[in-house]
Structure 1
Amino acid sequence: MLFSSRSSGSGGRTAVVAVLAAALATAVPGVAHAAAAPANDDFDSPAAVAALPFTAQEDTGGATEAADDPVWCEGDAASGTVWFRYTATQDGLLRATTTGSDHRTVLSASTGARGHLQPVADGCDYGTDATITFRATAGTTYSFQVSGIETPGGALSFALDTIAPAANDAFADAEPVTALPFTRQPDLSLASTEAGEPASTCVDDEAQPSVWYSLPAADAARSLTARVDGAAAVTVYAGNSLAELTQVTCKRSSGDPVAFGAAAGTRYAVRVTGPHRGYGPVELELATAPPLDPYVYVSPTSATVFGNVGFSASSYQAIDRPLGGTWDFGDGKSAPVGEDTVYHRYAADGVYPAALHAKSPDGRTKTVDVPITVLTHDVGIAKFVVPTSARQGESKPISVDVTNTRYAETVTVALSKLSGDSWTDVGQLTLQVPARATGKVRFPFSYTFGPGDALSGKVAFRADVRLQYPAEDAFPADNTAVSIATTVKPPATRIAAV
């Protein structure tokens, strides 16, 4: 395009420049132009959805925001909004999606008039494939707002349609569990909340959708497990109708199962509850509970009549805890199983048929035999005799009397004396000590007092009794004795005859 002017002076040149700039703005490639706002840019001028299914593609690059646009779903990160509006003709599930758009979007659904919009439950999602599914009511008008994230807009694809609910969306249509193990991956986006559904202690929002499974009544009692993975919860109920259901057990998603006892002749219903659009797939597994397999810990392993025996039990399987039941100690006494260690003392030696009769919270049982052998080896020092006084160079007797009332034992007595602040050996003697109800065996020693003893002026002796390995004394408190110190004088001095 050519431009010319006959005007002279600065005013003429200014006009030419202005005309040239305007021309370049419309003709030169690469110069940005402000995009026009879409026709459905405002809440008051939405794109009307007359019939379903409905699809639309539009350029939202010029979309703007109104001061009263709701932000309950969009938040501060969203910008540029367009609107679609639909009045439901029947009750059922509606699904809206922006799948196919070339930019990330925020999609939400609301009801009500401008300035008084109310969010629809489960009516918010975001991403390049933002999708919401919710239960619509006939005659209700729904306003759909689409915003851009990070970029105000772009090539937008919007679709709206009804969607068939899950086959087992209602309690009356619960899917029967015909064989165990039973595994399903329910699509909760196809589910809804049924009026009159019972509450669950594992569900925070009872408005979340759910699907149902039915466990028919069995001829015999059994223990089962229920497990759910994904953003969901599983609840087990007993009863034949929605109104009479009572909760048996429940579990939030954790990957760990929960066990429950199913009584004979009782029907059970299993409900899986979660958001329409969770974090990954949901998986349900129902199975027969594994056999109860508790472990038992007994301490000490060598029991005697002088000490308590500790009994404890638990299970590596979480469904078995807290473990209950009864401890049978095998001597006519018993105690309940608890989380803490149970202690028991046996009155006499012998082999006792102790056993754990364990019971899981859901009613599974297991008996574990833990025979206890009580064997008490016990000898003691009954008398320790040392001289009250002696002179240097004298040899005097020392005796240790040992008692033994249980089993014939090989006994060693070690004699030592106190030298300064430590004990030094004097001698050892090993004898066979028979078991006697009364009486004792004497261990005789002889000790010659030396110059060091005389220099100290007194000597204390210690006797230690020990059994031959592998026998171990059950009451070592009477196996050591320390004597009263013996007074030691210098040797006697003879006076020569005249």
Structure 2
Amino acid sequence: MLYSLRSRGRVAVVGVLIAAVAVVAPGVAHAAAPPANDDFDAAVAVTSLPFTTQEDTSAATKTSDDPGWCSGYAAAGSVWFSYTATQDGLLRATTAGSDHRTILSANTGPRGRLQSVADACDYGTDPAITLQVTAGTTYSFLVGGLDAPGGALSFALDAVAPAANDAFAAAEPVTALPFTRQADLSTATAQAGEPDSSCVEDEGIPSVWYSYPASDTARSVTARVEGSEAAVTVYAGNSLPDLTQVTCRRSGSGTAVFRTSPGTGYFLRVTGAHRGYGPVQLVVDEAPPLQPDVSVYPSTPTVFDNAGFSASSWNSIDLPLSGTWDFGDGATAPLGTETVYHRYAADGVYSVTLHATSPDGRTATVTQPVTVTTHDVGIAKFTTPASARQGVSKPISVDVSNTRYAESVTVVLSKRTTDYWAEVGRLTLQVPARATGKVRFPFAYTFTPDDTLAGKVAFRAEVQLQYPVTDAVPADNEAISIATTVKPPASRIVAV
């Protein structure tokens, strides 16, 4: 009985403690409330600039209609800010200083029909966006957690001035060459009436301007840009409506080159595909001298060759080259993109001259000696026996002709076996150059049992010149004889 009372007493005490805890710590099992601007319809209205705020968004939630166009998927949790522009211009929003990675985007329109603002998207650590706004339009800023619903958020919004050379009328002068500038397209806009460019697909993207002043002398100038999807376009003219495109180049596609005309001004427009894609660098410089390379093939032609002449350049701005070839023997030909062929009538050293012009008007003259040397020997006569007997030695002769230069000539004599030509003799002689007459190379060959077994044997004569000399007409350097009939050895009559 006593044990029973004690047990009930313990139960009663425990019940009192549980009730006490419930009174002291109400709501422990419930999560913190979401931020006040957790929903699009409760966005914090920004009424003046600059605007900065800090808030705890760790309990932020997301809705099914949160736009996911910026990062490709909806934020883990989001809060909203809105601002109605009082004038046209540029705004910059940032979440720099937040303790977590965020998504930041700008949108226009009512809920359910939100439209993304061009280039107004960034995400990661301390994202920032710059957007061009129109007076009277309301811009809704979504700030979301990238990896988690939120945390300690810092949000700032302010107006920013456009780039100093954002407008054509404020183009920055190119004062001296080389000229290098880091173009800040994040604070640039697209000015109404800007001329088209064959390198730009969307003429509404941001741009900045540079001016190249008119001068009294003509010169070739290069311009190139470095940066993601950037382009530089060169125009001639003095006012925005009168500009005419001269040339253009995208980043990564080479260098633009243009030839200035005395008294004419030029303008360079630098554009980028999107704001915030990183820095864009412009480099303007004087074009390098034209230095074409001349190629001749073969390098030492003969009078039998159609020598090929071509011109090239390592620099793409030099191409295509135009001009003329002077072959040094009184003949000329226009320079084009294809190889030009020329045959010389006599041996000699010729000064070949190339007069070249680049598309922008730079010129160069290159002179190169071409040596024409023709070595030509040939087999004039190849004499082999019509028939022979095994074991008998027969004479074989090769007559070599030569009308150009004294040569050291080797004649290789071979016979045909079942599978290949086997060398049976080799002789080297000096062969003088003579208009008429030949030099005979004498050989003697003893016919073998294998020849008798085959029944006939054919011979081949090959004429070779000493390296590095090569024969201009190798077609007459080889001759194959009519097969010689080979008989068994004569039978010896034995006396009885």
Amino acid at match of 1:311: F
1:434 is aligned to 2:447: no
Separation of aligned partners in 2, 1:152 and 1:174? 45
Q: Give per-residue Cα distances to partners, 1:141-166, cap 9 Å, x unaligned.
A: 22222222222222222222211111
1:77–1:150 contact (8 Å) kept in structure 2? no
Q: Which moved more, 1:46-55 or 1:210-219?
A: 46-55
**Residue number in structure 1 paired with 2:37:** 40
Alignment of 1:241-390 (within 5 A): 241-254=239-252, 256-274=254-272, 277-331=275-329, 332-338=331-337, 341-390=339-388
Separation of aligned partners in 1, 2:196 and 2:48? 37
> Structure 1 residue aligned with 2:83, among 86, 94, 100?
86
**Residue number in structure 1 paired with 2:126:** 129
What secondary structure sits across from 2:159 in the alignment? Answer: strand
**Residue number in structure 1 paired with 2:135:** 138
1:193 is aligned to 2:190: yes
Separation of aligned partners in 1, 2:60 and 2:245? 51
1:447 is aligned to 2:444: yes
Separation of aligned partners in 2, 1:133 and 1:287? 31
- Taking a change above 3 Å as real, the CA distance of residues 149 and 495 of structure 1, as seen in their structure-2 partners, is closer
Alignment of 1:209-224 (within 5 A): 209-224=206-221
Separation of aligned partners in 2, 1:109 and 1:334? 64
Separation of aligned partners in 2, 1:153 and 1:444? 100
> Structure 2 residue aligned with 1:179, among 176, 180, 191?
176
1:101 is aligned to 2:101: no
1:19 is aligned to 2:19: yes
* C-alpha displacement of 1:212: 0.5
1:191–1:276 contact (8 Å) kept in structure 2? no
What secondary structure sits across from 1:370 in the alignment? Answer: strand
* C-alpha displacement of 1:185: 0.9
**Residue number in structure 2 paired with 1:208:** 205
CA RMSD of aligned residues (A): 3.4
Amino acid at match of 1:266: T
* C-alpha displacement of 1:228: 1.5
Separation of aligned partners in 1, 2:305 and 2:378? 17
Unaligned runs of 5+ in 2: 1-7
What secondary structure sits across from 1:125 in the alignment? Answer: strand
**Residue number in structure 1 paired with 2:152:** 155
1:189–1:275 contact (8 Å) kept in structure 2? no
Separation of aligned partners in 1, 2:306 and 2:81? 78
Identity %: 64
- Taking a change above 3 Å as real, the CA distance of residues 40 and 417 of structure 1, as seen in their structure-2 partners, is closer
**Residue number in structure 2 paired with 1:466:** 464
1:188–1:275 contact (8 Å) kept in structure 2? no
1:106–1:130 contact (8 Å) kept in structure 2? yes
What secondary structure sits across from 1:83 in the alignment? Answer: strand
Q: Which moved more, 1:123-132 or 1:186-195?
A: 123-132
Separation of aligned partners in 1, 2:136 and 2:144? 26
Separation of aligned partners in 2, 1:431 and 1:38? 106
* C-alpha displacement of 1:263: 3.1
Q: Give per-residue Cα distances to partners, 1:266-291, cap 9 Å, x unaligned.
A: 22111111256434322111111112
Q: Which moved more, 1:425-434 or 1:304-313?
A: 425-434
Separation of aligned partners in 1, 2:13 and 2:147? 43
**Residue number in structure 2 paired with 1:3:** none
* C-alpha displacement of 1:184: 0.8
Q: What TM-score, normalized by structure 2, do the two folds share?
A: 0.85
Separation of aligned partners in 2, 1:484 and 1:379? 22
- Equivalent pairs counted in the alignment come to 485
Q: What TM-score, normalized by structure 1, do the two folds share?
A: 0.85
1:105–1:146 contact (8 Å) kept in structure 2? yes
Separation of aligned partners in 1, 2:34 and 2:491? 133
1:393–1:448 contact (8 Å) kept in structure 2? no
Amino acid at match of 2:160: I
- Taking a change above 3 Å as real, the CA distance of residues 280 and 441 of structure 1, as seen in their structure-2 partners, is same
Q: Give per-residue Cα distances to partners, 1:320-367, cap 9 Å, x unaligned.
A: 3444544443341425332x5444433332222223333334333322
1:100–1:156 contact (8 Å) kept in structure 2? yes
What secondary structure sits across from 2:282 in the alignment? Answer: strand
Q: Give per-residue Cα distances to partners, 1:210-230, cap 9 Å, x unaligned.
A: 110001122222222112222
2:199–2:231 contact (8 Å) kept in structure 1? yes
What secondary structure sits across from 1:172 in the alignment? Answer: helix
Q: Which moved more, 1:343-352 or 1:117-126?
A: 343-352
Separation of aligned partners in 2, 1:188 and 1:390? 95
1:482 is aligned to 2:480: yes
Separation of aligned partners in 2, 1:383 and 1:270? 76
Amino acid at match of 2:314: Y
* C-alpha displacement of 1:394: 6.5
- Taking a change above 3 Å as real, the CA distance of residues 456 and 245 of structure 1, as seen in their structure-2 partners, is same
Amino acid at match of 1:23: V
1:76 is aligned to 2:70: no
* C-alpha displacement of 1:240: 1.8
1:293–1:366 contact (8 Å) kept in structure 2? yes
Unaligned runs of 5+ in 1: 1-7
Separation of aligned partners in 2, 1:478 and 1:397? 22
* C-alpha displacement of 1:176: 0.7
Q: Give per-residue Cα distances to partners, 1:383-441, cap 9 Å, x unaligned.
A: 223343455676665443332222343444454555675434346362443321xx322
Q: Which moved more, 1:413-422 or 1:174-183?
A: 413-422
Separation of aligned partners in 2, 1:104 and 1:448? 95
- Taking a change above 3 Å as real, the CA distance of residues 35 and 75 of structure 1, as seen in their structure-2 partners, is farther
1:79–1:151 contact (8 Å) kept in structure 2? yes
2:45–2:82 contact (8 Å) kept in structure 1? yes
Amino acid at match of 1:81: S
- Taking a change above 3 Å as real, the CA distance of residues 288 and 418 of structure 1, as seen in their structure-2 partners, is same
1:387–1:486 contact (8 Å) kept in structure 2? yes
Separation of aligned partners in 1, 2:445 and 2:158? 113
**Residue number in structure 2 paired with 1:5:** none
Q: Give per-residue Cα distances to partners, 1:428-472, cap 9 Å, x unaligned.
A: 362443321xx3224163637556466765554443333455543
Amino acid at match of 1:362: D
2:431–2:439 contact (8 Å) kept in structure 1? no
- Taking a change above 3 Å as real, the CA distance of residues 425 and 95 of structure 1, as seen in their structure-2 partners, is same
**Residue number in structure 2 paired with 1:61:** 58
